[in-house]
Structure 1
Amino acid sequence: MESSSPARNPNHPGEGDLQQRYQNVVVMRHGDRMDNFDENWTKTAARPWDPPLVDAGLARAFDTGRHLRASLDFPIHRVFVSPFLRCVQTAAQAVTALCSADSSSIHFLITGGGNDTNTLQVAIEFGLCEMLNTEAIKPECAPPSGDFAFNIPELEALLPAGTVDHTVKRVYEEMPQWGESVAAARTRYTEIIKALADKYPAENLLLVSHGEGVGVSFSAFSVDKTVYEVQYCGHTELRRPARGGEFEVKGYNGIRYCSTRT
């Protein structure tokens, strides 16, 4: 079993050469969620299916963005994020760290407007959402109507100013139906990674999703490996030739897996 990939060379090779040869996609889990630290939170929450991050989660998300900025040997051009609040908050922190000229200290961006960069484009994508079943969301916490009622303008306002791309057309124009099977959700995650990469073949992407989505991003593009744990802000680094083709896993962090080879 493994939890992280070997240390990478912090020196960045020439971006032009890498950009011509490869497309890169980083798939990342959200940070530490409130309901896993305060068992009473869901009892009074207006949206018990949609917990925010705790302060440690905000810090972890920022620190992960800073780590990606220092360690990746390619630039991130575009970010797609699940509409769940914990993922949007994670994306806001990671994007701030990725874009900051000085990301040496933790910075909590609680609301939008804290960053004037236009170097990254961010959009909410329903296809990256949590598994919509009782495996991921407790029945007593799910919305009775099956409508998760996301307010997209309010969520976009949490992202750094100047980063939201309002021209993007979502791959999933609506949320998946409540009650999807685990197998269907895993297929969805595999398909949305490929669809977003195909839609922007000349760009490197950061996808902020959920534990199952990150696990699928590792196992679907590896041979004989099954993921059994993805830590908060755990992530995979996928790569494929710029001309197209199959992805391979080139790096990972915060992922534990076992081999299924006999």
Structure 2
Amino acid sequence: MTGDSRLTVYVVRHGERVDHVDETWVRTADAPYDPPLTANGWTQARQAGTLMHTLEASKPPAQEYLMLVSPFLRCAQTAEGLCAGFQAQNSLSATWKVAVEPGISEIMSENYFNSSDQVPTTIISDRQHEIQRGLVCANMAYNGGYDMASEDLPEYPESYQQMLARFAATLDRVAAGLLGKSECGRRVVVVLVTHGAGISAMQWAMARRLGANDVAYCAMLSGTATARTASPEPALTWTMEYPPPPNNRAGHQRPSL
């Protein structure tokens, strides 16, 4: 096989979460560690989906469109809003699928969680079942054949360096898996719906630059991985696309941590 395969990756932070607006919500919540979006968060997600459509409209069609979501409810709801905003434009015939990816979960930092209030691992299977039943992400088909990069939540406590390594490893595995299935010369589009720290981690993974941890709700970045399919073990070359990188630093191979 000769030629290059391309994977376009969008990384999106979830929308506004209810516990950051209503401090009383957590007092009666059955799952205080897993807040949903606010109405404004849904709007932010749809607007980000519209932006994603605008960015995709100038590219050749992809053979696969996939959203991978952190197991947290706010990320699954954001994915649903992204898809709604994307599909509302009606100019691209894209059929989206969705799957849960624990490798892009929230950082298990002591600043966010304590030893007595850890997130149960059942959040992964619970979210999968909700998607399969159409309780969330009802506008997408569940991709039951997706091979998760990580089957478990990160161990608590998780350091910042451990989080960076986790996201980089997840990106590598996702990219290798999707590019390995794509036909020569075709595109695959994947959206990673994650958390604020994940935006910075993925920016490092793609461009060797750490972004700010305090990013806006539904902040987005994107990059393209090119695999040299003529090679027995294709090397991935990443090019940042959105937002445009300063000094046009693009087209490099990312080093390991």
TM range (shorter): 0.7 to 0.9
Distance 1:162 1:138, change over 3 A: closer
Note the 1:1-262 alignment, pairs <5 A.
22-72=6-56, 73-74=58-59, 75=61, 77-102=65-90, 119-135=95-111, 137-139=112-114, 142-143=117-118, 147-150=120-123, 151=126, 152-156=128-132, 157=134, 158-201=136-179, 202=182, 203-223=188-208, 225-243=210-228, 244-252=235-243
Checking the alignment, whether the CA contact within 8 Å between 1:130 and 1:209 is kept in structure 2 is yes
Runs of 5+ unmatched residues, structure 1? 1-18, 104-116, 254-262
Distance 1:162 1:78, change over 3 A: closer
CA deviation vs aligned residue, 1:24-79 (integer Å, no higher than 9, x gap): 11111000011110111112211111110000000100111011112233356111
Runs of 5+ unmatched residues, structure 2? 183-187, 229-234, 245-257
Give the whole-Å Cα distance in 1 for the aligned partners of 2:116 and 2:82. 28
Checking the alignment, whether the CA contact within 8 Å between 2:70 and 2:76 is kept in structure 1 is yes
Give the whole-Å Cα distance in 1 for the aligned partners of 2:39 and 2:73. 14
Distance 1:33 1:229, change over 3 A: same
What secondary structure does 1:238 align onto? strand
Give the whole-Å Cα distance in 1 for the aligned partners of 2:43 and 2:209. 34
CA apart distance, 1:192: 0.7
Distance 1:161 1:63, change over 3 A: closer
Give the whole-Å Cα distance in 2 for the aligned partners of 1:193 and 1:225. 15
CA apart distance, 1:175: 1.9
> When the two structures are superposed, what TM-score results if normalisation uses the length of structure 1?
0.75
Distance 1:65 1:226, change over 3 A: closer
Give the whole-Å Cα distance in 1 for the aligned partners of 2:207 and 2:146. 30
After TM superposition, the structure 1 stretch with the greater mean CA deviation from structure 2, 40-49 or 82-91, is 40-49
After TM superposition, the structure 1 stretch with the greater mean CA deviation from structure 2, 244-253 or 181-190, is 244-253
What secondary structure does 2:164 align onto? helix
Give the whole-Å Cα distance in 1 for the aligned partners of 2:10 and 2:50. 14
% identical equivalent positions: 26
What secondary structure does 1:69 align onto? helix
User: Over aligned residues, Cα RMSD in angstroms?
Assistant: 2.5
CA apart distance, 1:92: 0.7
Query: How many pairs does the alignment contain?
Result: 219
